[in-house]
Structure 1
């Protein structure tokens, strides 16, 4: 099974009405969410899974939901919808899921659906928190609930570091950014020019990568280099979508 890391933000008002109602009783294909969870509750001896707790989180403020509870919601929707349209293309299913999520108050900002991409992203995140520790709600594997402001700072670090990796020509590829993307990067550079620790973190990582890079796909940091261009473009897009007033928290779900 491939690793799948997805990043989400929320509309808590929509979720409190529509997601709450759907999770209570709607049958999507073969099951309701309640039936899905009750089967897991019986096997959960530690009380980590609770249908009532998940519903309460959705009704009160989905932004504060535990990442493992969001995992259960996402896993339920994915399993039900993919089996509902077995003959449809992956693109058609994903379009349906995106439309459904929007109605329910969920926005998937990004999906990394390979193990190599997931490990590369986690490598960048762990590199960042070595310099900038963050308060967060931790779940299984890399699942995490963090403040949007903190996530956006990490996202800026990711943009600046991956841009330097591309410029360094550590790997043989001709990656070209759009003019708008280049402008976004220059804006971030201006906004962070007085952040000495951020500059130090980026330079330290570049020295490490330049010194140790070699084409061995088993190493997470090698995958981080190979995925730099993809992550850079995704991170720029994500930065434009998040409004910290409307979207105070970001939840990353790691299915592994």
Structure 2
């Protein structure tokens, strides 16, 4: 017999919402299992049972915004630390990109629970996603995400000559980190001092650590794409809304 699962976990697995949203909806009486309202947190269901949500939940979810920022150096992705500001402080009417095609109007409530879906360290720049939508967060940073992230990385070889081809092959596949093999990556030269990295995982400071292992020092790192969404012409320090027709 199949084991029962927590209702919130099952809703997240089905892609209906994040676990946090699920708990909120259950508490509000917006979730039905086999047609019956279930409002007790921690309730369990069998995988065969049918879960439906009320229209209010879908309406609430559709109001949640996702924002793309071109993060400059000196901002942290998440919580403020060591006197550095979090990237969310850039989301203000003054910093909105003048060419943002979205008809969405800015409202301060959009800053509520607007959290980073993935991170860029303080010295890195480029595309950072902040979202109120648990489905997008799960898609980008969930355990089983397979969404590509593309980076342009300016490097300096710390040994004489050029980086040997064998070391470049190691960057593509063959390095270990934190006791585990890294997933295959796509790493190629863009020009004499710049590499293009395409990764499907995002360990802390992963690219800097990978480069370090083969004798490369990272001079600059910029994320230019997440899935099918590109940084494009968005200027540094500015932001825009994710358009309804854009999918990661």
**TM-score, with normalisation over the residues of structure 1?**
0.23
Larger radius of gyration: 2
Q: Which has the higher contact order (CA 8 A, sep 6+)?
A: 1
More helix by share: 1
More strand by share: 2
**TM-score, with normalisation over the residues of structure 2?**
0.24
